Structure 1
Amino acid sequence: MSGNDGGGAAASRPVRVVLVDDDPMIRTLLGRILLAQGIDVVAQAVDGDEVVAVVQAHHPDVVVMDLRMERRSGIDATRDLRALPGRVGVLAMTSFDTESAILDAVAAGVDGFLAKDSGPEELVAAVRQVAAGEGALSARAARVVLGQVRSAGEDTARMDARRRIAALTEREREVATALVAGASNAEIAAALYVGEGTVKTHLAAALAKTGAANRVQLAVLTSLAG
């Protein structure tokens, strides 16, 4: 499986996407938006219990998946994908109305969140960011997701987060803090007056030191650490 190993989709070919939603109208709409922007929709699935087979058959860069489905949720399907060799990016679609679902999705290893009422530009940008290995946590999504994380955080979780974040250098903490605001690599680079390659280096180091699986989990840890 090609998957997303952090290096992003190959520049010589379009981003490959699998759409997973039990509403055919939503799949059709998302597919039209992505195809119009040169993103290949290589397959679709109607429920989470089909995801592993579809991913293994079509080798996408990104799975755009609803968190709520009838037979198997997007959260459980993400856990299934994380048990496979390689790594495919997962962009979760949600209405942000259930705190427990958001927290479970973060723990399962989603690479980004997209509000169901997002516009075409936000959808395309999020897919490309996840495909590039950056993850997708827009300023809007960050406010909602991290707000829920902070409100639900227990003292033990906060203490653990502070311990893990304390291992970072000052520059690594600056990069991690920027993630909490939903900043992209390019925005972080501009704010810190460094190149995007330097940001990626600091981000990789921060992920390794904290044990976070992706930038969403690192943002959660940073937010909990305060």
Structure 2
Amino acid sequence: MDQSGPRPLRVVLADPAPMQRSGLRLVLTAATAGGAGADGAGADAPGAGRAGAGGAEVAEILVVGETGDGAEAVELARRLLPDVLITEIALPRLDGHTVARAVADAGLPVRVLVLTARDSDEEVLAAIAAGAGGFLRKDAPAAEVIAAVRAVAAGGAVITPMVLARILARVAEALPAPETTVTPKLDALTDREREVLVHLARGHSNAEIALAFQVSETTIKTHVGHVLGKLRLRDRTQAVVLAYETGLVKPGR
């Protein structure tokens, strides 16, 4: 049987609560490329989520490791190189912010998604500053968590909508008046790159931006790479924050 096609997204879980990890594992491994969910029994087995021999379903997400310890989470990220490391903030030895920073500083090809019950503005901003590509509350619906894993793995940025609204309000309050806004950081960008940055700040995916500009998604990926490189930004999340900080994009517009 032909096994070609997109490989499953590989995920590592870091949460001090075994029951939380178990529930999250079941949610993630139920996601299949065919759109159907795997049953709970199969999700607990090694290689969970893959269809049986002769089945049509292929796992979209595989949980390849898990831990309740922050230092071990960093070690698993180094050793397993998952696509996404999902971490709680409250972890023994190293907290989630430190884990995200360690992964980013090591230059690992691993994206970090924070999934936590702690959603203060300070926690969110600290997670973004540490290099996390996403921030969700633990009460997020299963479909939202799965979508966030997909988005973060693809290089996108995800923040729980209600939390994002609060953050943008704070950014808006801190912005200078439009007539006094200074954007020297953006001078290195071409007009098209600025337009791409605006779309990024509005949460649009590469595919959506490509459709708006009537160009290929590969072209948009190139533009995004240039934006991040010229502005010396680590990821799309930092690009979104900068777009609001410089006044290029205003909340609600």
Cα offsets for 1:84-112 (capped at 9, x unmatched): 24321111124563222222211111122
Q: Partners in 1 of 2:174 and 2:15 — Cα distance?
A: 28
- Which residue type is aligned with residue 58 of structure 1? L
Q: CA deviation at 1:209?
A: 0.7
Contact 2:78 2:108 in 1 (8 A): no
Aligned partner of 1:108 in structure 2 is: 130
Aligned partner of 2:142 in structure 1 is: 120
Q: Percent identity?
A: 39
Task: Describe the shift of the 1:179–1:144 C-alpha distance in structure 2 as closer, same or farther (beyond 3 A).
Answer: farther
Aligned partner of 1:42 in structure 2 is: 64
TM-score normalised to structure 1 length: 0.82
2:158 to 126, 131, 137: 137
Contact 2:74 2:103 in 1 (8 A): yes
Residue aligned with 1:41, SS: strand
- Which residue type is aligned with residue 130 of structure 2? A
Aligned partner of 1:81 in structure 2 is: 103
Q: Partners in 2 of 1:177 and 1:142 — Cα distance?
A: 16
Q: Partners in 1 of 2:114 and 2:91 — Cα distance?
A: 12
Q: Partners in 2 of 1:139 and 1:44 — Cα distance?
A: 23
Aligned partner of 1:68 in structure 2 is: 90
Q: Which has the larger radius of gyration?
A: 2
Task: Describe the shift of the 1:130–1:21 C-alpha distance in structure 2 as closer, same or farther (beyond 3 A).
Answer: same
Aligned partner of 2:56 in structure 1 is: none
Aligned partner of 2:121 in structure 1 is: 99
Aligned partner of 1:57 in structure 2 is: 79
Q: CA deviation at 1:211?
A: 0.6
Aligned partner of 1:203 in structure 2 is: 224
Aligned partner of 1:22 in structure 2 is: 16
TM-score normalised to structure 2 length: 0.74
Q: Partners in 2 of 1:96 and 1:173 — Cα distance?
A: 34
* Bigger helix fraction: 1
Aligned partner of 1:5 in structure 2 is: none
Cα offsets for 1:7-29 (capped at 9, x unmatched): xxx96421110011112222111
Contact 1:20 1:64 in 2 (8 A): yes
Q: Partners in 2 of 1:153 and 1:112 — Cα distance?
A: 23
